[in-house]
């Protein structure tokens, strides 16, 4: 439990929290319970479980990748605040 008290102090310092003794003890107890739960997960036998990238199996709707020109340059530049020919004009970032 001493380790969780140190961790609680560290977490409180990182979060810029000023905890009184009662709230500090409560935080340390909660951290202790979280660590106990995490250690309990080591008891679960996952030897026959395939690794997965997501918790839900779902099909990804892929579309064909085709090149199409549905818009013209004029349509694309229509809402540009400033333009020069067929280019957007942007203010300089570096002076």
Element holding 23 (H helix, E strand)? helix 21-41
pLDDT of residue 1: 59
CA distance 72 to 92: 27
How far, CA to CA in Å, does 61 sit from each of 55, 58, 71?
18, 9, 25
pLDDT one digit per residue (tens) for the chain, 95 residues: 577 678 888 989 999 989 899 999 999 999 899 989 999 989 999 888 888 877 787 777 888 888 877 888 888 888 888 999 989 999 888 87
pTM (two decimals) = 0.47
pLDDT of residue 22: 94
Q: Domain boundaries in the chain?
A: 2-41
């Amino acid at each position: 439990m001493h380790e969780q008290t140190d961790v609680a102090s560290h977490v409180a310092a990182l979060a810029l929290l000023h905890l009184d003794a009662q709230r500090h003890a409560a935080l340390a107890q909660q951290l202790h319970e979280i660590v106990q739960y995490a250690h309990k997960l080591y008891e679960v036998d996952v030897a026959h479980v395939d690794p997965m990238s997501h918790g839900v199996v779902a099909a990804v709707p892929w579309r064909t990748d085709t090149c199409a020109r549905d818009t013209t340059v004029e349509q694309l530049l229509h809402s540009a605040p400033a333009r020069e020919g067929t280019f957007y004009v942007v203010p300089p970032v570096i002076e």
